[in-house]
Amino acid sequence: MTSTRTGTRPVDPSTAPGRARRATGPPRWADPRIGLLLVVLVLGAVFAALRPSFLDVDLTLVPMQADIAVFVVVGLAQLAVLALGHMNLAVGRMAAVSAFTAGLVHDRLHAPLLVGLLVALAVGALVGALAGGIITATGVNSFVVTLALDFGLLGLVAILYDRFAGGVAFATRPAGMDVLRSDTLNDYCAGPVCGPPVPLVVPVVAVVVVLVAVFFRCGRVGREMLMTGSNRTAAVMSGIPVGRRTVQAHALSGLLAGLAGFLLAVADGAFSASIGEQFLLPSFLAPVLGGTLLAGGAVSVLGTVLGATLTAVIGKGLNLLEVPVDRLQVFVGVVLLVALSLDRVRHVVAARREVRS
């Protein structure tokens, strides 16, 4: 719902070129990514000074990379619809449905891990496309549609696990899942040279990050999604099939949510009904911290990676400092609020610059 933003201020023509410029090459002073990188480094140093175990490879760094990998994909799932100025409140449940189908095809058909992954991605994309289709067909706000979808899927996932898994998780898991979970590149050696201590999922996610970045930077469909988010009327006038782009963006969001669900299942070691329950807040945290606008029209994939990294560093650091979970929730909420306020400040400053120049 962008009414608070556009409703209180009449249409502000100066923001549209500002957004477009930030999407291609942001001015240095407005780039949140540099500040984010500094914050990550400073916080990392502080945590390392307070708890030397923060730099312990096996205890902290390897699990943290796996966490970051999941958070990045969750953030990208939200970013795909934020490009339109939409929201996907059902990211978590789309991930849960996808993970369920991946577990089901293994449990019933003994499908290998890769087939499970492909099925999960397809199901996620389908559910996302369904959400996008409803939004396009009815013109209802995206958050209402995805919220209602989230409620429906919440019940569906629990029922499906109850019926097909006989509980809250599948007892079986495909071969290779444990390897994917516990092995790092360090376990694979070519002669005397071994890889760095990086979990196997990280290269996979890195490829996804590059693909999404290229999609929004160079891909025609991605650019058209951004234009739709920046100014829908202008996009329609330019002959962009706005409805189709909306469905595609939501399908992409569902696909990435499915991937995130699969990755979390790998990290947890089981396809369970609780997958995705904690996705909603991080899904907004990572892109918004990284400078993606909630109003649509500008995305920052690299910023999302850094935002996810910051979230994971804070989470792990406070965990090592033995901060209780409830206080951790308070910190995460405060970080999101601060990030949102900064987003607003950037927006105002960018608009002023635009007017002056």
Partner 1 sequence: MTAPTRAAPRRTEPVLAGLAVVAFGALAATTGGNLLEPGTLRAVFAYLAVPIVIGLAQMVTLAVGQLNLSVGVVTGLCAMASAGLMVDGRWSPWVAVPAALALGAGVGLGNGLLVVATRINGFVVTLATMSIISGVRYGIHGTGTYENYAPGLVAAGRAGVLGVPTVFLAAVAVAGAVALYFAHTVSGRLLLASGGNPLAARLSGISNDRSVVVAHTLSGLLAGVAGVLVLALSGSVNASIGDDLLLPSFAAPIIGGVALTGGAVAVPGTCLAAFVVRLVDVARAQYDINPRWIDLVVGAVVLGAVLLSQNREPR
* Residues contributing to the site for partner 1 (CB under 8 A): 1-5, 7-8, 10, 87, 134, 138-141, 143-145, 147-156, 158-159, 162, 280-281, 284, 288, 294, 324-334, 336-337, 340-341, 343-344, 347
Kind plus residue range of the DSSP H or E element containing 194: strand 193-194
Residue 48 beta carbon to partner 1: minimum distance, rounded to whole angstroms: 25
Report, in Å, the least distance between residue 277 CB and partner 1.
11
Of the pair 160, 177, the CB lying nearest partner 1 is at 160
Give the separation between CA 80 and CA 250, rounded to whole angstroms. 7
Distance CA 220, CA 228 (A): 12
**Least Cβ distance, residue 284 to partner 1 (angstroms):** 6
Distances (CA, A) of 7 to 1, 193, 232, 295: 10, 60, 16, 12
Give residue for tokens 């958070």. 71
Shortest distance (Å) from residue 274 CB to partner 1: 13
Q: Based on CB atoms, which residue is closest to partner 1, 70 or 285?
A: 285
Give the integer Cα–Cα distance in Å for 255 and 199: 22
Nearer to partner 1, 190 or 325 (CB): 325
Question: Closest CB to partner 1 among 97 and 209?
Answer: 97
Give Cβ neighbours of residue 174 (< 8 Å, ≥ 6 apart). 106, 111, 112, 113, 116
Report, in Å, the least distance between residue 259 CB and partner 1.
23
Of 301, 330, 333, 328, whose CA–CA distance to 317 is shortest? 328
199 DSSP β-pair partners: 184
Task: Give whichever of 10 and 25 is closer to partner 1, judged by the CB atom.
Answer: 10
Closer residue to partner 1 (CB): 99 or 209? 99
User: Which residue type sits at 329?
Assistant: Q
- Least distance in Å: CB of 93 to partner 1? 10
